[in-house]
Amino acid sequence: SSTPDRVAERTRNIAVNASTPYETAVVIEEWLEGNREYSLDVDRPDGNIVDAFLFEMNEGYCTYYATAMAGMLRSVDIPARIAVGYTTGDQLQEDTWAVRGANSHAWVEVYLPEQGWISFDPTPSDPRTDAETGAVGVSASADLDIDSENASVDGNESDEPTEGNLSE
């Protein structure tokens, strides 16, 4: 109820040719990917985030894209929620991956009565991947001498500190 009416108006205009909730979600996802730039360097706007991202901001990161898409869909009575987690990170060995804070991500899940919750990701993937790589500096798949044997699954180091632990 706190979302300005112009959010629903814009959503209806963008999805004017969509005839189902699924089609509406696809159109909104594509519109956001194509009409906003990806950047990790944005200031949090005052007021309603959905409204600000749609009408005042030209760029943002995954949280802004997901919030905007979920808000837009909800404004036209399509159930949507924001999900957060991590992308896969960098593969170190056949069954070992390095997942860092730079791999954190947000996306949208839309409820479709016949299918249940379906994931959508309105964040442009190439700029997001470039930003992840830039934040880390180099890929962990490069020769970084990471000691995956002595790093535990919960992210805590083993008792013996070794050069190249995942926590560095």
Residue 147 designated active-site: no
| 51, 90, 121, 147: the active-site residue | 121
> With helix as H, strand as E and coil as C, how does the chain read?
CCCCHHHHHHHHHHCCCCCCHHHHHHHHHHHHHHHCEECCCCCCCCCCHHHHHHHCCCEECHHHHHHHHHHHHHHCCCCEEEEEEECCCEEEECCEEECCHHHEEEEEEEEECCCEEEEECCCCHHHHHHHHHHHHCCCCCCCCCCCCCCECCCCCECCCCCCCCCCC
Q: 162 CB contacts (<8 Å, ≥6 apart)?
A: 147, 150
Q: Among this protein's residues, is 105 annotated catalytic?
A: yes
Of the listed 41, 43, 46, 62, which one is catalytic?
A: 62
Catalytic residue among 5, 41, 90, 105: 105
Which residues are part of the catalytic machinery? Answer: 62, 105, 121
